[in-house]
Structure 1
């Protein structure tokens, strides 16, 4: 099946917002203190349309089935980006797209000259954590910066 990972376009805003909300609801993620409550969900193209940010979508013949991005870590004084909003619909899982998306996002972070990449996730998202550890993320004892995602108890960091 012709799946491609490409940079987000303005026309993708509605679809990627729906994907992220569906995945979060399916996984039972709290709606407060997580990406679910982010104002940026409905304007992802505009949110990542700046010099040191990028968001990519997984496009299956015009249907968005996943996405992920990188941007400067909010409210943090340092050259650290955050892996943001990496979510895939069920039909996108188990196909190696997570690893491919991670490589694309981390390569972009290196191009942007970030020194480290940070992420936050949920305790029970074990498959995601396996992937993060495989590419070199390590667990932290607490959050960096202030993303507003106070309901995400797992924080990880990778040196780029």
Structure 2
């Protein structure tokens, strides 16, 4: 197994959107008010290319795209905060430490971009991911920060870098 992490490319858009939407269907997460119905899910390369101080990394296993994760300056977040966004992996590749590798890459990139905190939004249905966030040092919040537009999320967390 050869795992690589690289910056997103335009040709990754279609496969990433498929991985994200399949994951949400798999876990029976609401589709309205999530990345499922967000039109930017189909144009992640452009979204990150157009946003200063953002980055998105994809991971490949044996040269096959298996997921990704990014750092995004969501409007309305406190100064020094960015959002850890769109961490999704194919079902077959979860539980192997790849999500942690992607998060570590994002922490390093966020710090390099000058951020002091990372914020994220999630769902109770994604319990394994939430547990991974807790182990990584994310602390629960009582409500949402910023204006992600993903109003269906019910778990909000923050980590100091």
TM-score, normalization by structure 1: 0.95
Aligned to 1:22: 22
Count of residue pairs brought into register by the alignment: 160
**Residue 61 in 1 paired to residue 65 in 2?**
no
SS in 2 for 1:81: strand
SS in 1 for 2:84: strand
8 Å CA contact 2:29–2:125 kept in 1: the answer is: no
**Residue 101 in 1 paired to residue 102 in 2?**
yes
8 Å CA contact 2:67–2:89 kept in 1: the answer is: yes
Q: Which stretches in structure 2 are left out of the alignment for 5+ residues?
A: none
RMSD: 1.2
Superposed, which structure 2 residues align to 1:1-160 within 5 Å?
1-49=1-49, 50-160=51-161
Instruction: Give the drift of 1:10.
Output: 0.8
CA deviation string 1:63-121 (max 9, x = no partner):
21111100112233422100000011111111110111110011111000011110000
8 Å CA contact 2:27–2:125 kept in 1: the answer is: no
TM-score, normalization by structure 2: 0.94
Cα separation, 2, equivalents of 1:74 and 1:154: 18
Cα separation, 1, equivalents of 2:47 and 2:62: 24
SS in 1 for 2:96: coil
Cα separation, 1, equivalents of 2:78 and 2:160: 16
